[in-house]
């Protein structure tokens, strides 16, 4: 067999002769191919080993050698290519995923101001919390305020190597995996404190590989950009610890009713053991399990050399002294105000931000003043309400220089009635609306000394009456305002016109719809307490109006500013006219119906108001730095038998408590009164018919003209005579008050009329004298002209007969 292969090799090395036969050439080619096969066989096996004769793959002298397939036809080659492409694609996808995650990673500094979703925090002007709604951290603490042992308890329990790792603790991950596998359940976690904070702030509780990848990358980023102490502080303020406790200070209060600095070592360990399963480890739910968890944390503190074995044993021996308390700030410190804030929020921030929650609202409220306002209203209802027949009251204070609401009380008990009488109750303002009529007249150039006849007056069938149904004769506008004379107010309205008065009131801050009627001068159109108080503030602010508001700034859950109040003053009335009106309203307090609001030597201006049958009792007054409005009445609009002087007294009771905090200031000097040019144009009403009679001198009554026609004139030169009148300039003339032409046994006050005079004493201050028993109201004493500065009575009087 060896000789055969030797000869075969020799033949394969022979070169073909030129011109040889085709058969010989093919044989030589076959030999060459066979040679190649043999040489390959020699390369694969020892040279002394020869192919098996029975091998089917052995070369055969009479058979052509098989060809090798190309690489692209090999299945394993394509498998290798596919595997390579798959790995490459996976790598590229992973790279793009990581790049995408990095590109969309949030600013880690947002964790420092983060507030949980679904929460709302409302703060007072000084930063104190008024109310918190939802899963909020109610008591935030700095790291320096947290006891060292409490910090060590959390580190030992949750992240022993917190100060050594860079966001991920691989040893802890391996240790947790072994412990969980050994126990057959999850008994230990591998997430670091940094990872947990990233999950709380940015990721949520989703369980997926993608979330774990983002969590790990965020943890690295946070470690790079934040300090360890910052991370630990935010974690200890945000971690959920069961029973509505978010953060360690909340847990200390909810479980033990104490601040964190008074916690015992055992209590600290119990709180530190709750994060893995707050509902399970809560001492309020499972005290035995909570105690076991506490002991585990204490042992870990020993292992970490934070405490000694003796300290551990002492803490374990102490019983669990749970003393639960409700979370702080669930109940609002100013419920009527905070409910108003919640109603305003949708007008200021987007729907998306509202739905996401986590908002922090900085408000304008002065919490100290608010508490005093609520106490004042409660005492007024308790002491003045029963004898005067009213069950509710409201109070609002606004800084006229910036429009900020400083106090708001909408009733005496929010738990019984959430109806905010300061913002939601639309009531007739009575004579407090006269301020806008006279402001319009002064702005139109009328002199405060312009005289009008206070006598019987019927205009287009509407007859206003003074409170005591008597007349003063000729009086100036200023004296008529001081005495709150209804007839003169209506005559001034006719002289200046409906449209200018409505426009002036709107510019000054009245947002409710005002009806153009003669009774508008006496407050027949309804308004709410907040808007009319704000409108009076326009005069206190020298004619500039700034919209009343309770919110200064709003931050979203990451501490980003999303709203800031930027109210600018708008000129509503010229400064000289505002100064004149303030001077006139000072007279109301100093010598008129608002005498109960006097604050010693302080400058005070204001106006009383009483609606029909005394359903509403008002006083709106101001000093240069603060305007306050008071309303009293009943929710069902039933009549009272009180007086607006009680509202003025309640105003005094509140404002007198603030005098030490507010520096006394004077109102601006009164400008020249004569020869003034108006800054607006009057548009007098042209009535169809006027019946006017002049009051008889010294009689307080009226006399008729002998001609049977009616006429009257005033010092300003205006006159009506006979029936030669054009149509009125308003669309609906039938806004008359009830007909008071016939005497009544117990006269009810006409709409907006204020009592003119009385000998009854005003109510005593609430804190010093108990409420008097009801007694019959004394008959009014007639004061002959020209004395026109009586005070408005406020005696508790018997209820009017139901038949009236």
Looking at the annotation, which residues are catalytic? Answer: 158, 431
CA distances from 180 to 183, 215, 293 (A): 5, 21, 16
Is the dihedral angle over the CA atoms 262, 265, 267, 269 positive or is it negative? Answer: positive
Integer Cα distance of 512 and 384 in angstroms: 30
Integer Cα distance of 313 and 324 in angstroms: 25
404: Cβ–Cβ under 8 A, 6 or more apart, which residues?
Answer: 125, 364, 398, 548, 549, 550, 552
524 contacts 611 by C-beta, under 8 angstroms: no
Helix boundaries (H) for 138-256: 148-158, 170-183, 193-198, 209-225, 228-238, 248-256
Give one DSSP letter per residue of 329-352, joined into a string: TSS-SSHHHHHHHHHHGGGTS-HH
Quick one: DSSP state of residue 97?
A: H
Integer Cα distance of 63 and 522 in angstroms: 129
Most distant CA pair in the chain: distance in Å?
A: 170
Chain position carrying tokens 């305007």: 627
- First-to-last CA distance in the chain? 147
Burial class from Cβ neighbours inside 10 Å (0-12, 13-18, 19+) for residue 491 reads: buried
Chain position carrying tokens 């009385």: 758
Nearest to 554 by CA among 366, 338, 402, 349: 349
Question: Which value, in Å, is the radius of gyration of the alpha carbons in the chain?
Answer: 46
Integer Cα distance of 106 and 104 in angstroms: 6
- Measured in whole angstroms, how far is the alpha carbon of residue 294 from the centre of its chain? 40
Helix boundaries (H) for 74-147: 75-103
Burial class from Cβ neighbours inside 10 Å (0-12, 13-18, 19+) for residue 569 reads: middle
Integer Cα distance of 113 and 280 in angstroms: 29
169 contacts 192 by C-beta, under 8 angstroms: yes
SS3 553: strand
Question: In the structure encoding, which two tokens stand for residue 335, read together?
Answer: 């419920």
Q: What are phi and psi of 161, to 5 degrees?
A: -105, 35
- Measured in whole angstroms, how far is the alpha carbon of residue 129 from the centre of its chain? 12
Integer Cα distance of 242 and 271 in angstroms: 10
Quick one: DSSP state of residue 595?
A: G
Quick one: DSSP state of residue 202?
A: I
Spatial strand order of the sheet with 626-633 comes to 404-409, 392-399, 626-633, 616-623, 605-610
SS3 783: coil
Cis-peptide, bond into residue 786, ω within 30° of zero: yes
Is the dihedral angle over the CA atoms 515, 521, 524, 530 positive or is it negative? Answer: positive
236 contacts 194 by C-beta, under 8 angstroms: no
Nearest to 625 by CA among 409, 434, 403: 403
Chain position carrying tokens 């190649």: 36
Q: How many residues does the chain have?
A: 804
Nearest to 554 by CA among 696, 348, 790, 746: 348
Integer Cα distance of 501 and 290 in angstroms: 71
């Amino acid at each position: 067999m060896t000789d055969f292969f030797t000869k075969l090799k020799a033949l394969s090395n022979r070169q073909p002769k030129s011109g040889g036969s085709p058969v010989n050439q093919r044989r030589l080619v076959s030999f060459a191919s066979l040679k190649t096969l043999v040489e390959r066989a020699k390369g694969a096996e020892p040279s002394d080993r020869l192919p098996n004769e029975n091998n089917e793959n052995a070369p055969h002298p009479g058979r052509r050698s098989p060809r090798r397939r190309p690489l692209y036809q090999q299945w394993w080659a394509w498998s290798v290519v596919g595997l390579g492409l798959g790995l490459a694609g996976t790598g590229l996808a992973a790279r793009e995923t990581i790049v995408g995650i990095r590109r969309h990673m949030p600013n880690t500094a947002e964790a420092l101001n983060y507030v949980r979703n679904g929460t709302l925090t409302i703060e007072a002007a000084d930063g104190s919390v008024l109310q918190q709604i939802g899963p909020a951290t109610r008591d935030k603490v700095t790291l320096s305020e947290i006891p060292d042992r409490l910090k060590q308890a959390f580190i030992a329990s949750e992240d022993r190597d917190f100060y050594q790792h860079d966001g991920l603790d691989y040893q802890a991950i391996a240790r947790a995996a072994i412990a969980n596998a050994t126990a057959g359940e999850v008994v230990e976690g591998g997430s670091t404190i940094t990872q947990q904070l990233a999950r709380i702030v940015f990721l949520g509780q989703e369980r997926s590989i993608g979330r774990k990848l983002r969590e790990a990358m965020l943890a690295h980023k946070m470690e790079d950009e934040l300090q360890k102490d910052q991370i630990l502080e935010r974690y200890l303020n945000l971690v959920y610890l069961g029973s509505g406790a978010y953060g360690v200070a909340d847990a200390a209060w909810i479980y033990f009713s104490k601040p964190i600095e008074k916690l015992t070592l055992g209590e600290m360990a119990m709180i530190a053991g709750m994060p893995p399963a707050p509902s399970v480890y809560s001492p309020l739910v499972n005290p035995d399990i909570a105690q076991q968890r506490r002991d585990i944390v204490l042992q870990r503190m020993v292992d970490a050399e934070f405490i000694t074995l003796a300290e551990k044993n002492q803490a374990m021996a102490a019983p669990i002294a749970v003393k639960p308390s409700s979370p702080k700030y669930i109940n609002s410190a100013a419920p009527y105000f905070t409910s108003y804030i919640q109603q305003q929020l949708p007008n200021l921030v987007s729907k998306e931000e509202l739905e996401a929650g986590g908002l922090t609202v900085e408000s304008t409220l002065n919490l100290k003043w608010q508490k005093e306002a609520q106490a004042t209203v409660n005492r007024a209802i308790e002491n003045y309400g029963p004898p005067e027949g009213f069950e509710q009251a409201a109070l609002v204070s606004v800084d006229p220089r910036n429009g900020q609401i400083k106090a708001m009380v909408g009733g005496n008990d929010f738990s019984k009635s959430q109806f905010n009488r300061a913002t939601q109750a639309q009531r007739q303002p009575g004579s407090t609306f006269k301020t806008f009529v006279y402001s319009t007249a002064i702005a139109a150039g009328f002199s405060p000394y312009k005289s009008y006849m206070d006598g019987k007056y019927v205009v287009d069938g509407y007859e206003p009456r003074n409170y005591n149904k008597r007349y003063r004769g000729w009086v100036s506008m200023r004296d008529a305002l001081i005495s709150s004379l209804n007839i003169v107010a209506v005559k001034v309205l006719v002289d200046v016109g409906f449209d200018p008065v409505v426009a002036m009131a709107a510019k000054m801050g009245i947002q409710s719809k005002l009806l153009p009627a003669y009774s508008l001068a006496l407050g027949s159109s309804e308004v709410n307490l907040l808007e009319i108080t704000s409108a009076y503030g326009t005069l206190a602010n020298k004619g500039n109006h700034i919209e009343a508001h309770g919110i200064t700034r709003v931050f979203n859950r990451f501490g980003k500013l999303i709203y800031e109040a930027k109210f600018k003053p708008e000129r509503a009335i010229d400064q000289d006219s505002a100064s004149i009106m303030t001077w006139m309203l000072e007279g109301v307090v100093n010598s008129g119906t608002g005498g109960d609001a006097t604050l010693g030597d302080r400058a005070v201006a204001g106006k009383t108001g009483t609606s029909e049958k005394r359903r509403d009792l008002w006083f709106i007054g101001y000093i240069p730095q603060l305007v306050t409005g008071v309303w009293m009445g009943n929710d069902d609009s039933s009549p009272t038998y009180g007086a607006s002087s009680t509202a003025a007294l309640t105003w005094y009771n509140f404002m007198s408590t603030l005098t030490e905090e507010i520096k006394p200031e004077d109102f601006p000097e009164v400008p020249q009164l004569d020869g003034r040019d108006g800054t607006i144009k009057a548009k007098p009403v042209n009535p169809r018919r006027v019946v006017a009679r002049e009051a008889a001198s010294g009689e307080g009554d009226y006399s008729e003209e002998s001609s049977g026609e009616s006429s009257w004139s005033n010092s300003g030169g205006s006159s009506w005579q006979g029936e030669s009148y054009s149509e009125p300039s308003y669309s609906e003339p039938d806004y008359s008050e009830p007909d008071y032409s016939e005497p009544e046994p117990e006269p009810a006050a006409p709409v907006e009329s204020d009592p003119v005079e009385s000998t009854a004493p005003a109510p005593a201050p609430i804190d010093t004298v108990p409420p008097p028993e009801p007694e019959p109201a004394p008959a009014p004493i007639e004061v002959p002209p020209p004395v026109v500065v009586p005070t408005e009575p406020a005696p508790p009087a018997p209820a009017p007969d139901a038949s009236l």
